Amino acid sequence: MRTRASAQLVGPVLRALPRRALGAGAAAGLVLAALPRLLSTHPDPWMALLLLRGAALAFALGLTFLLDDPARHVTAAVPTRRMVRGALRTALVAPFAALWWTAAVLLIPAQVRPPVGDITLEAAAAAVVALAASATAIRLTEEAEPGQRVAITLLATSMAAALLLPQHWGLFATPKEKWWSPGHQHWALILAGAAVVWAACGPEPIRRRGFFATRSAKISPSTG
Amino acid sequence: MSAVLEKAPPAERTEGERRSWAAVFALARFEARELLLRAPVLFMFVLYAAWIGWSMRDAWTTYPALQDVDRLTQNGPLLPALAVLLCANQAVLRSRRQDTDRHFDVLVLEPWRRTVAFALSVLPAVALTALFVAAQFTWGVLAPGSVGHGSVGELLVGPLTVLLAGSAGVLLARVVRSAFAAPMLLVLAFFSILFLGAVPGNSDGSATRWLVPVIGDASTKTLPSDLLGRPAAWHALYLAGLALTLALAAVLVNGGRTKTVAAALVVAVGLGTWGAVGQAGKVPAATVAARLVATVNPAKVQPCARHGHSTYCAFPEWMPRTGTWAKVTDNVQSLAGGTAAQEKLLVRQRVDARYGMDGDGAIEPSTVPYQVTVGTRWGGPRVPEFAAAVSSVLVTGSEKATSSLCDGRMVTIMWLALAWQSDPLAELRTVRLDDSVTGSAIVLSPTNPMSMTSEQTTVVRELFTAGKSAIAPKVKAHWAELTAPKVTTAKVAQLLGVKAPTGADKCE
């Protein structure tokens, strides 16, 4: 029964996807990854790593809009739980994301490409952090479209983290540095932690008007 | 509503005009408050304050030059600029996001006046950044031993970057009305600029290099402020023109097609272009000539001062520091014996300014007898480096004679240079290139480095352990033998009464 309901949901969910935001993120990421080939220069490995990280960040920013649902206050009442709908959205985007990441990695010339497994871990962690952040925003506020707010927070946080986090954490290390492998253990931890937060924030809140209710929530139609 | 109609005679155009400007300022005030209280902006300003504290943490001990401190203030404001861009953009899009756009149609305020208000709402954030920049610079000015002059053009870059970011955010919201445009474009711009900046081949005199807000330097040395040759004022003009252009373009695309706006836009574009052209110019010939003179023949431009036996010549901005140098020279000289203790030294400040801030050049050791070179920086390792230069000149007679030095005199040089310090061993660590106190190492000095063998290091360490009062009389008594060329390290150790090393002197 439930699977049939989910199957019926595929069409509407696909239509409701924020395709423009996702597409913009993917396009920005591809442009960044294509820069070394477009300009036919001899990029150094550090630059390639930086561009791939930029691409991952751009796509993660696109993903922060994934759970935006303008009709949120209406769909709260439908029998299919929000967790299912959110999971369905993610599942629909996942193959596209995998394809996109493959393309981005392949766009970087092979001789300067950073270790693919490790950089994929970073990109996956960034994506899951983005999803967890938007799920948290939806869980804790009544905003229907927190995407932009979350995107700004994610961008500011990542820039500040790159600037401020101690070097020995290795989150933004280069492959030759000794912090590369502990750094990727930290990335794995971030991935796991974000996944837990994401799962915890999946269900629709039972009580409304939470702690973090924003001003926009107060004027939104659902409170009436 | 009716009250408004009664009070306002609709025929009077100037009255309505004035009132809509009052509304613009009211909206600008409100939006400015909203902007400053947004979490990302607050967070970034807090981060910026922390960054200032961190980057200026050792200003008190490093004798900053103000022409460096002004450029140090430029990177930090990028943090609030990022947040201001995103939040200003989001503020303009707020009415669209909450679907209140159509309510504005009934208001007296035209959309383009609303845009003016949004552009104005960035100004308090700019003023706050200016305050932070001023605080950071003042910190540098108050630091003991600071020298030189700051440049207003360089100091303006920080606040103007925030203004530019705010205007860009407003324009972006008026051109692309989607919520995701600003973060995406920012990421795209940030990483492409990083990438394009790292592509080699556009280093010297490139016009495009100055188009980004903050321009770093290839070199980290300190130069006299008149030799920097950075078009700071032009760059500030360029940034201001660009920020104004973006803000006015936002007003224009929003329907503000009045003559005033068009005229102001033309002026702003003109200012920006003027600045861009000005900053793209080559370094002025006068500056190039002055750099050459300062490098090759500094005596022409340096005043001199006398402290004790010795004379100190420095670029005018460094004259207040000659007293500090004199203390070190006197301390080193007081430990020397023979004629060296009374020798009249000439301490001359030298720097390779030929390449400006685009490259570094080594300073050749001076061939003039009893002339010592001092650099433009001071504090930390620069102090023992200068002390080593003084002692090497006292022992060998000139800087040039030191460069091929490979015998026991090195022990005397290092002991003279460091024994007067409160913790000679710690100073020995800082003056050696690899921060070690055992084994052989390179010893830094303002000109060519010297080298210490591992035996010499051992003897010097033992001399420090024996204490200054025990060794000083022996140095004075045996001065002639200690400073004779080809004296072995073993002989020096024996003369000074410490255990002689077994190995022979072998220089690398």
**In one letter, which amino acid is B263?**
A
Instruction: Tell me whether A59 touches chain B (CB under 8 Å).
Output: no
Fill in the DSSP letter of residue B478. Answer: T
Mean pLDDT across the stretch A64-79?
85
Token pair, residue B420, equals 């007067």
pTM listed for this prediction: 0.85
Q: What is the dihedral of CA B168, B173, B174, B177, to 10 degrees?
A: 150
Residue B405 pLDDT greater than 60, yes or no: yes
**Distance (Å) from the alpha carbon of B373 to chain A's nearest alpha carbon:** 37
Gap between the Cα atoms of A26 and A103, Å rounded? 10
- What is the structure's pLDDT at B13? 55
Q: Over 50: is that where the pLDDT of A216 sits?
A: no
Residue B82 has its nearest CB partner, among A20, A47, A159, at: A159
Instruction: Kindly tell me the burial class for residue B362, based on how many C-beta atoms sit within 10 Å of its own C-beta (0-12, 13-18, 19 or more).
Output: exposed
**Do residue A148 and residue B97 have CB atoms under 8 angstroms apart?**
yes
d(CA B74, CA A17): 41
**B194 contacts A24? CB cut-off 8 A:** no
In tens, the pLDDT along B93-122 reads 988 888 888 888 787 788 888 999 999 999
The ipTM, to two decimals, is 0.82
Work out the minimum CA distance from B247 to partner chain A, whole angstroms: 22
DSSP A181-211: HHHHHHHHHHHHHHHHHHHHT-SPPSSSS-T
Residue to test with chain A: of B89, B103, B172, B187, most A Cβ within 10 A:
B187
Q: B253 or B501: whose pLDDT is higher? A: B253
Distance between CA A126 and CA A60 in Å, rounded?
6
Domain ranges of chain B: 8-282, 300-496
Specify whether the backbone of B304 is left (phi greater than 0), alpha (psi in -120 to 50) or beta.
Answer: beta
Residue A222 has pLDDT above 50, yes or no: no
User: Which residue does chain B place closest to A47, by CA atoms?
Assistant: B195
Q: Quick check: A148 and B40 CB within 8 A?
A: no
**Average pLDDT of B18-44?**
91
Q: Does A219 touch chain B (CB under 8 A)?
A: yes
For B264, other C-beta atoms within 10 Å of its C-beta total 17
Residues 6+ apart with CB under 8 A from B194: A50, A54
- Strand residue runs (E) in B245-390: 304-307, 310-313, 346-349, 371-374
Residue A4, pLDDT above cutoff 80: no
Across the interface, do B184 and A41 touch by the CB < 8 Å criterion?
A: no
Alpha helices in B38-151 (DSSP H): 39-55, 66-72, 78-97, 111-120, 123-142
Secondary structure (3-state) at A152: helix
Average pLDDT, chain B: 86
What are the pLDDT digits (tens) for A73-103? 888 788 888 888 888 899 999 999 999 999 9
Cα maximum dimension of chain B = 107
Amino acid B201: pLDDT: 47
Q: Are strands B346-349 and B371-374 parallel, antiparallel or unpaired?
A: parallel
Q: What are phi and psi of B71, to 5 degrees?
A: -75, -25
Per-residue pLDDT of B410-428, as tens digits, reads 888 888 888 888 888 888 8
What does the alpha-carbon distance between residue B365 and residue B360 come to, in Å, rounded to a whole number? 16
Across the range A133-137, mean pLDDT stands at 92
**Do A153 and B40 make contact, defined as CB atoms within 8 angstroms?**
yes
* Chain A nearest-CA residue for B54: A164
For residue A162, what are its two tokens? 């790159």
Q: pLDDT band at B246, cuts 50/70/90?
A: very high
pLDDT at B199 exceeding the cut of 70: no
The tokens of B164 are what?
């530019």
Q: pLDDT at position A40, please?
A: 66
Residues of B with CB under 8 A from a CB of A: 39-40, 43-44, 47, 51, 79, 82-83, 86-87, 90, 93, 97-98, 178-181, 183-188, 190-192, 194-195, 198-199
Residues of A in contact with B194 (CB under 8 A): 50, 54
Contacts of A169 (CB under 8 A, 6+ apart): A179, A182, A183, A186
Q: Specify whether the CB–CB gap between B368 and B398 falls below 8 A.
A: yes
The answer to whether residue A183 scores a pLDDT higher than 80 is yes
CB-closest option in B184, B192, B199 to A41: B199
CA distance B112 to A174: 48
Q: Specify whether the CB–CB gap between A46 and A180 falls below 8 A.
A: no
- DSSP state string for B200-215: SS--TT-SGGGGSS--
Question: For residue B223, is pLDDT > 50?
Answer: yes
Question: In the prediction, which pLDDT does A221 show?
Answer: 45
Ranking A153-157, B323-327, B379-383 by mean pLDDT, the lowest is B379-383
Interface A-B, measured as beta-carbon pairs within 8 A, has a size of 97
A35·B44 Cβ contact <8 A: no
The whole-number pLDDT of residue B274 equals 93
> Which one, of A79, A12, A29, A53, lies nearest residue B184 by Cα?
A29
**3-class DSSP state for residue B346?**
strand
